[in-house]
Structures are given as C-alpha cells and as structure tokens.
A and B are shown apart, each in its own frame.
Chain A
Amino acid sequence: MKKVINQPEDVLNDMLDGLSFAYADIVERVPETDVVVKVDKEDGKVGLVSGGGSGHEPSHAGFVGRGMLSAAVCGEVFTSPTPDQVLEGIKAADSGKGVFLVIKNYSGDVMNFEMAKDLAEMEDIPVEMVIVDDDIAVEDSTYTAGRRGVAGTILVHKILGHAAEKGQSLEEIKALADALVPNIKTLGVALTGATTPAVGHPGFVLEEDEIEFGVGIHGEPGYRKEKLQPSKELAKEIVGRLKKEFKWEKGEHFGIMVNGLGATPLMEQFIFTNDVKEILESEGLVIDFKKVGDIMTAIDMAGLSLTMIRLNKEYEEALKASVNTIAW
C-alpha cells in the first residue's frame, strides 16, 4: 500500500481537519465530532443532512454549503457513522424547521441514521428521511437488502438542497424526495479494486486485462467480469442496462452524470462521456444537464459510473441553480 497517510486510524480525523482548514470560507468542523457543517447558517429553512462512510470524497462533505447540504456526517472509511454522530449533524443543521436526512441504501447507514432520527425526535427535532437506491447493478428483489445507493445520491442533494433553499417545508421536501428517487439510476464499471488504509491491500483483484460491471462503491462484487474493451463498448453495456430500467421513449429529457471512482483520469471520463453522448443522441433523447468528474469515489478504485435522471422542469432548474460548495 502506497498512500500519503500517517496512521490508518487517524485518516478520518486528519482529513477532516485538512478539509475544514482549506475551505474555511464554506464549511467548518463541529468541534469534537466528525460533522462538517456549512458556515453561512440560514435560519428558518429545513436542514439537509447526509453522510456515510468516508472514502467517497468529495462526497459528502464536498457538497455542504449554500444550496446543497447543511451538514455531512463522516464515518470511518467505508463505515457508516454512528447514531451519536448523526445526531450531532442533525443538531448542527436544525434551524427550527426540521431536518431532512438523505441516506444511501446500506444496512449500516439505514440502521444508524434511523437510530439517530429516534434520538432527534426525543429532543423535539422533527426529522424526515429518504433512502436512495439508484444502483441498478443489483437485482431488486425481496431476497436482498434492496439496491445500493451510489453517485445518484448527489443529484438528490442538489435537487432537495434547492427546495430547502427556496424555503420549502419538511413535508414538501419529503414528497419531492419520494417522487425524485425512482427517476435516478446509476451503473458503474471497475478496472481495479480499492485499498482501504486499515486493510492495506485491495478488497478484490482484477487481472491486468479484466474489468467488472456493477461493482459497488465499497468494492462489492458486480454482475459480470469481462476482458478489457474500448470505452464505446463500456458505454454500450451501461447505457443499454439503464435503458432497460428507464424504458425511455424518443424525445424524452434526461440529465447525465459521469462519475470517476477515484483513480480514473478526467481524460478517460471525457472520452467515456463522448461515447455516452453518441449513444443517447442515437436513442433520440434530449440531454439538458451534464456533469463529469469525481463526485462519489471509492478511494483509489479505477473505473467510473454513469448516472441518468429523467428530467422535468423542476428538477432541471434545481440542478442548474448556483450553489456555494467545495465540489459541485
């Protein structure tokens, strides 16, 4: 393992101190916690809180700021934050109108955030939540814990953040979130595994000429390994699967987000984006929103994911609104 770290057990603390020092004009770290909160607190608006394990930088702390998250709760690497920490995040985000939680669908995250929601309600803070499950790699069945939440979660931050910014109520944001999540779907491909600092070797190994479709952002196994192939072929497989899910018609409006998993250069992300564009144009879709970059990474995994969102005017306006965060 070659990493610029000190002690593996200090990774989270050292990173949060560095981040809050570098971007002190946008965020601050709540003392004695692993919570990052926006500096310009606005009273009278619903607080928006997300979080999860670390290792997905810039998610989630990079999306804290005006127009997006009020606070992000950062767990240990690939490990859900604990209920007491989530409660601190809720308190930091609360300005009297209640707090809305955006949770990625993992058993740990759901349990810890639900426990925190109970604790907050005991302190008379109204809390609502939505669970994001945008990863279509996993079959959605009663025999799994459902689908995983991945990069699409950030589009949820953006759209709900805009609603909170405009002064929508907790109930309105809950309704918006419930309607929004089914319109966002993601699928990824991995070229390598990821190495967590505490373990020191990759969670899985792909051969030099091998790729895997559907790998999760913690290195969870995907649905198929194949020989390395050109970007165009990757785009064909990924868009093809998304099409099956969305069942889109010619002329529909969509947004796309190409997300690097941590070790894939922007050069490759743009090449892939270009291939996606060509396929979507041939499908007759109208692409009103695009974003490319490292949004939700898996530490040092090479690979990328494609998120698509079926747009309406409200979502489009929210996605295009300006915000003040580290990473949007």
Chain B
Amino acid sequence: MTTPTTPKKPRSLSFRTVAQLVALAIADAAISLWVGRQAYLWMPPQASAEAVLVDDLFGFLTTIGSFIFLGVTTALLYSVLFQRADKYDISDGPPVEGNLLVEILWTTIPLGLVIWIATYSYQIYDQMAILGPMEHMNHVPQLGLMPPAEAATLPAVPERTPIEVHVRQWAWEFRYPDQNIVSTELHLPVNERARLKLISEDVLHGFYVPAFRVKQDVIPGSTIDFGFMPIREGRYRLRDSDYSGTYFAANQGVVVVESEEAYQQWLADAAAQPLTEADNRAFREFTKLGDRPISAGWKTVEPAPPPRVNFASSEEDSYE
C-alpha cells in the first residue's frame, strides 16, 4: 500500500454525531446520579457526624465511578455487538494509530478529576478530625456534589476525661476513669464528641464501628487519641478490624449511644455494681474442648481470662 499514512477523515464531526454523543452523555450522567443516590442505602445507619461526611463522599465517588464505568462498558459492548468481522472477512480494520488531541484530553481530564476527588476527600478528612484537628494550609471552598454537612460546626466540647479502650486477645474493655468503672459495653452520650484513648495490651487490633464509619488500628506500645461524634441513639456493633490471631472474628462488642440523662444514669448504676466476670466468647470457645468442628489440633495463643467488670455485655447481645 502506498497511500500516505492515515486515511482522510472528516475533520468536523457531523451535527448528528455530536447530538448523539451529547444525548448519550446526558443519559449516562442521569443514570450515574441516580446510582450515586442509591449509594446511601448500601451503608449502615448514619450514627455519627463522620458517617454523614463519609457517605456524601461515597455518593460522590459512586456517581463519578458509575459515569466512567457505564461510558466505557457501553462503548465496548457496542463494539462487540456491532463491529464484528463477518465470518469470512479476513481484512483488517482502519489503520488508526492514535490521535494526539484525544490522548491529551484523556490524560488531562482524569488528572483534573482525581485532583478534584483528592481535594474534596482532604476536606472531608479535615472535618472528621478523628486523630485531632489538622493544621490548615488554606481554606478552599467546599467541593463535591453535596452541600457541606453541618458537622463542620461542632458544638464546643465540655471537658471530660477520655474513656480508655483496652483491647487484648480477645476482649474489649472500657474504663471510665472519673467514675472508676470497667465495662465490656461502650456507652457514649449522643451529640457530644466522644474522646477515646486506644490501648492494646498485646498485638495489633482495630477499633471499628461501621455505623460511625470510623476505624483506627490499636498499636501495642503506644496510646492513640481518637475521637468522633455520635449523633443517633441506638446500639451498634464494635468490631476488631485488624487481624489479631485465632479468635479475631469473635472479638466484637456493643456500643450504646444514649441521651445525656440515660448516660449519667448508666454511669451511676454501673458504679454501684461490684466487679463480676463478663461473658467472653473466645474464652468460652477455647475452654469448650471436644465440641469443635474439623480440627487439626494446632496449638493456639490462649485467650486471656474474661474481663472482670462492673457492667457486662456479651457479643451475643443485640445491636442494629
């Protein structure tokens, strides 16, 4: 073939093609916005201010992600359905080697997009301030598709001593220093910033309450200050989120968010209780020998004895 490089293509797209592309893009955007709204339904209840922020971010990411996923797969599907070679056609397609403009566009547009996503995520993280407030370099206006959440203006926090969260293989234990209470259920007053000190007594664990959307590894050898803002009364699941050995999956607990009055009442009641042994699933399973599924008889790290507490709850207790 001696023809000069690429065959001549019409430089300007026809009106029809442009209209079709615009219509497709609008349809894609509409569907994606709808999917982004559904994203809220896939999450646990929004029990903290952080949950509201994270869900907005997730809705935004889902919208953009759906737009790209739908756009690309539709193009591929169209090719697969309508651009097949006939059975005995062994000729080649058009020798299009590239298009500089298109390539520059699909490099710079995603670049802008991820900078947008990262900046918006930065702002959300800054507002969450789960490890304490970050230093602000500058104040960029709020990005994203959703209006800024009210969580930005948190009420001033009355000083209370942080609650100590002790975790070990395999139990959670909460200590309220002011009242000298030990509990295996974490009680928190609603609409007030919870302040915790995370302490691990052996290996890595993770403090994770899905309804709050917050998570933090607990590192042996250091105490981590952690905080978030419960905004909805209820009982929620606490899970160990960093693999901690044999009974990792059983290392769960319950967090109770309640009104200030109920919280004070609970503190008073608990303080009046003597220390008793809490129920502990890991220890229970470990001691219930002979009652095991297929076992190789491998030796395991032994669970610590059940905590002795003023107020006990069990992994089996109900939660939302």
- On whether the two chains bind one another, the answer is no
- B interface residues with partner A (beta carbon < 8 Å): none
